[in-house]
Chains A and B, each alone.
Chain A
Amino acid sequence: MSDFEKWKALLLGGALNRRDFLAGAAALAGTAGLSAGLAPRAAHAEPKRGGHMRLGLGSGSTNDTLNPWNYPDAFTTMLGYGCLGNCLVEVDAEGNAVGDLAESFAASDDQKTWTFRLREGLSFHDGRPVRAEDVVASIRFHMTPESTSAAKSLLANITDITATEAGEVVFVLGDGATDFPYFLATVLLVIMPSEGGVVDWQSGIRTGPFVLEEFEPGVRAKLRRFEGYHKPGLPYADSCELLSIPDTTARTNALLSGDVHYVDRLDMRTLGLLGRKPDIRILNIPGYAHYYFSMLNDVPPFDDPNVRMALKYAIDREDILAKVLQGYGSVGNDNPIAASVKYAVDPQPVHSYDPDTAREWLKKSGLESLTVDLHVAEVGFPGCIDAAVLFKEHAAKAGIDINVIREPSDGYWDNVWLKKGFCATYSDGRPSCDWNFSVFYAADAAWNDSRWKNAEFDAMLAEGRALPDGEERAALYAKMQDLVQKDGGNIIVAFNDFVCAHSDAIDHGAVVGFPLSDGYRITSRWWFS
């Protein structure tokens, strides 16, 4: 019996509760690749068709549109992608890129030419067939000069996209990229109908499990089942409704009173009380998302790698995980690659709380003590103000004085993030090393939080991109993770689970951790029990 099997047996036997199970499972090396889907309740009811599912989401704004250039939050993502759309590719529970609208895909030997074959008989909500030209137009829509798409830089490597006579789509890349299919699983890259190369994003007519009936930005979206959906049997519900409920208490009460069946963005501090309700289930899904404190590498004193190291050893991540995240997550080791991602390693020595080591690193930089400002706001990451105060206490024992400065949430991402030397931030993570590093750690990446510039790392990143899967690639990514852990500017506090709650009126099977909230597909994958 493997360790994982042992834990599972304990869980099924009732000797463990689910949280202990997850904590134990996460602690076991080699089990991380297993999806959380194994962990929730032992028995699930058989999927049933029918019902009107209501989801209460903590996001959504009157300025939301259906334009896939950007989904600013969970509401727009769940609507534009989860309910209405599909990409060519999706990420499965094991973290592999598999075809969604594409039936199959293959690359040339140099990984520069990728050919995607569409499934037979696909149609849009209005009955029009999905053509290869629609795919071309939908991807090109993000690449135009006037595009402000968040996927624009991701697609910069594409030099040409063509639709062949046989209904295939061929992508030609500037540099070879083994992980290219992952990029096409970006939720923004949904396939939309087009006319003469111009896509129609306004109508919401796409290929997804639900057809849009009514969309009132910042308030609600109402949808009904798409009978021609390409995934057999899905969706289960006849109709669904997404409600924007920004107030946490109102959202929780809506769930308690049965007005909605699912809510996200829970208040971690009262989660225990909520979990005690017999008809409410709390679901936590481990994923790639993480919370971190970011130090700008070109701002003193953080330009000194020894100072960065001192701070990395001066934080008690276990303490923050237990007190702020209530145990829903796993501690970070300053490596942004989650343990379940392909080629993930755990760089040694592990950065754990050690005031003496922190002092030694401080000495190496020629300092006896250190005073730094840490900027936080409610929006940095959930609980980051509490985490920063705990960090202050931890660091004090290492002779580091952290001055916690509370910033207004409004304008935090404009005025504090990437501007102040040391601040709180988060990432949803990415399912591949290349994707994660390209977006957050490459010298020219738009979201390079710490303005970390490492020529050696960048060279390896470019090299690894075109390498075929195998040992050489694994060794390279291991080296890069080691480099980020030791030299990088991000103190990764924890990988946070995605935590949500639903009433026992609805049920679900195995859930995936990427993208968040069961791939944003709750409305189609879950059913009424």
Chain B
Amino acid sequence: MSRLILGLMTLVLVSALIFMVVALLPGDFARAILGPNATPETVAAFRHEVGLDRPALARYLEWISGAVRGDFGLSFSSRSGNTRTVAEMILPRFRNTLFLAGFAALMAVPLAITLGVLSALYRNSWLDRTVNAMTLTSISLPEFFVAYLLMFFFVVKIPLFYSLASVDAGTPLGERLLRTALPALTLVLVTVAHMMRMVRASIIAVLASPYIEMARLKGLSPARIILRHALPNAWAPIVSVIAVNLAYLIVGVVVVEVVFVYPGVGQLMVDAVSKRDVPVVQACALIFAATYILMNLAADILTVVSNPRLLHPKEGGVR
């Protein structure tokens, strides 16, 4: 419960921060939206219409009270006769982002755990070293570079996939998966190392405990020791790393979305910043912040669930 309250407080703080930072963006919003041909009167009328002429605090309170109810207001590009709410701009994009994140996570998480377990099992073998070297290389390369490399090999040299991940609501699932294969693969490559190394490290730590030695002395097979005895006790740190990486898959995909022209929230946000579509920027930032906070909360809860001892704090503490 206290964690939930803490999460909410963080969110409120972040929202205030977002509002302040957006207000610091250079240039006059009204001018940026209306273009160089707007007369001073039109600019003034626009400022009044969207409330830019009112004090910042009043605008903030109005925005945040709307956001709580799920109403993010109108985009600055909205005009009479062509209304565009922020929600209707973000929703399809957010669905796309979640799809890509989900696709990438389905590949990355099992892969990371498998590789982590294998490299812990065969510690210091050639397998361990190869896996470590490869994952560390892929995490060390900037995302856009990984993306360009994948494009070069799997689109230009061997035309397996598409360089454009532009999907729409009507794209059938098969084509959708094919089109998003490369962006998902990029995300897998940049996230797998972190998760895999955490799996490996925490299993190795558990392997040093006396009860594992006991299991070994009983004559259990290495695979059984790891899967039945070590892994359940190593979950806590693994789960929290996975949660952070899942959050990253949702909020950190901006570059990947731009490179593969994937219509997700990240691309929308970049676009909105350059066009000074303030309501959209604020809503995107808030969604990203909420995702992070939610994922961290989930990690905390899962940690507790995976380790029942934490549910019953005793005097003097456990461990």
Chain A residues proximal to chain B, CB less than 8 Å: 56, 61-65, 67, 69-70, 72, 145-146, 148-150, 152-153, 202, 214, 216-220, 243-247, 249-250, 253-254, 256-260, 410-411, 413-415, 446-447
A72 proximity list for chain B (CB < 8 A): 35
Given A61-B275, A67-B79, is A410 in contact with B26 using a C-beta cutoff of 8 Å?
Answer: yes
Given A65-B79, A256-B156, A257-B163, is A415 in contact with B258 using a C-beta cutoff of 8 Å?
Answer: no
Q: Does B89 contact A (CB under 8 A)?
A: yes
A70 proximity list for chain B (CB < 8 A): 35, 37
A254 proximity list for chain B (CB < 8 A): 163-164, 261
A67 proximity list for chain B (CB < 8 A): 79, 82
19 CB contacts below 8 A, A to B, read A61-B274, A61-B275, A63-B271, A67-B79, A69-B37, A70-B37, A148-B35, A150-B35, A152-B37, A218-B263, A220-B166, A243-B164, A243-B166, A247-B258, A249-B259, A250-B163, A253-B156, A256-B155, A447-B36
Of the candidates A56, A218, A253, the one whose C-beta lies within 8 Å of that of B271 is: A218
User: Which residue of B is nearest A64, CB measured?
Assistant: B77
Cβ distance A507 to chain B, nearest Cβ, rounded Å: 22
Q: Does B31 contact A (CB under 8 A)?
A: yes
CA distance A146 to B155 in the complex (A): 49
CA distance A145 to B45 in the complex (A): 12
Given A245-B164, A411-B26, A415-B27, is A148 in contact with B39 using a C-beta cutoff of 8 Å?
Answer: yes
Chain B residues proximal to chain A, CB less than 8 Å: 26-28, 31-39, 41-42, 45, 75-77, 79, 81-82, 89, 148, 151-152, 155-156, 159, 162-164, 166, 168, 258-261, 263, 267-268, 271-275, 277, 280
B31 proximity list for chain A (CB < 8 A): 414
Cβ distance A278 to chain B, nearest Cβ, rounded Å: 14
Most chain A beta carbons < 10 A, residue from B35, B163, B261: B163
A216 in contact with B155 (CB, 8 Å): no
CA distance A212 to B156 in the complex (A): 32
Cβ distance B178 to chain A, nearest Cβ, rounded Å: 12
B35 proximity list for chain A (CB < 8 A): 70, 72, 148, 150
Cβ distance B175 to chain A, nearest Cβ, rounded Å: 12
Binding site secondary structure of chain A? loop
CA distance A414 to B27 in the complex (A): 6
Cβ distance B182 to chain A, nearest Cβ, rounded Å: 10
A253 in contact with B37 (CB, 8 Å): no
B275 in contact with A63 (CB, 8 Å): yes
A148 proximity list for chain B (CB < 8 A): 34-35, 37-39, 42
A63 in contact with B27 (CB, 8 Å): no
CA distance A152 to B36 in the complex (A): 12
B261 in contact with A446 (CB, 8 Å): no
User: Which residue of B is nearest A66, CB measured?
Assistant: B82
B38 proximity list for chain A (CB < 8 A): 148
Given A62-B277, A149-B37, is A259 in contact with B162 using a C-beta cutoff of 8 Å?
Answer: yes
A446 in contact with B36 (CB, 8 Å): yes
B152 proximity list for chain A (CB < 8 A): 253
A260 in contact with B42 (CB, 8 Å): no
B168 in contact with A65 (CB, 8 Å): no
Given A257-B163, A260-B164, is A61 in contact with B271 using a C-beta cutoff of 8 Å?
Answer: yes
B77 in contact with A63 (CB, 8 Å): yes
A62 in contact with B280 (CB, 8 Å): yes
A219 in contact with B166 (CB, 8 Å): yes
B45 proximity list for chain A (CB < 8 A): 146
CA distance A228 to B110 in the complex (A): 56
Closest 4 CB pairs of A and B: A63-B77, A253-B163, A414-B27, A411-B27
User: Which residue of A is nearest B82, CB measured?
Assistant: A202
User: Which residue of B is nearest A260, CB measured?
Assistant: B164
In the complex, given contacts A256-B156, A446-B37, what are 20 additional A-B residue pairs having Cβ atoms less than 8 angstroms apart? A61-B271, A63-B272, A69-B37, A146-B42, A146-B45, A148-B37, A152-B37, A217-B77, A218-B271, A219-B168, A220-B166, A243-B164, A243-B166, A243-B261, A250-B151, A250-B164, A256-B155, A260-B164, A410-B26, A414-B32
User: Which residue of A is nearest B275, CB measured?
Assistant: A63
B28 proximity list for chain A (CB < 8 A): 414
B151 proximity list for chain A (CB < 8 A): 249-250, 253
User: Which residue of B is nearest A60, CB measured?
Assistant: B271
B156 in contact with A62 (CB, 8 Å): no
Cβ distance A343 to chain B, nearest Cβ, rounded Å: 27
User: Which residue of B is nearest A218, CB measured?
Assistant: B271
B41 proximity list for chain A (CB < 8 A): 145
Cβ distance B151 to chain A, nearest Cβ, rounded Å: 5
Cβ distance A279 to chain B, nearest Cβ, rounded Å: 12
User: Which residue of A is nearest B46, CB measured?
Assistant: A148
Cβ distance A361 to chain B, nearest Cβ, rounded Å: 33
CA distance A447 to B35 in the complex (A): 12
Of the candidates B26, B163, B166, the one whose C-beta lies within 8 Å of that of A415 is: B26
User: Which residue of B is nearest A219, CB measured?
Assistant: B263
B166 in contact with A257 (CB, 8 Å): no
CA distance A260 to B261 in the complex (A): 13
CA distance A25 to B1 in the complex (A): 78
A218 in contact with B261 (CB, 8 Å): no
B263 proximity list for chain A (CB < 8 A): 216, 218-219
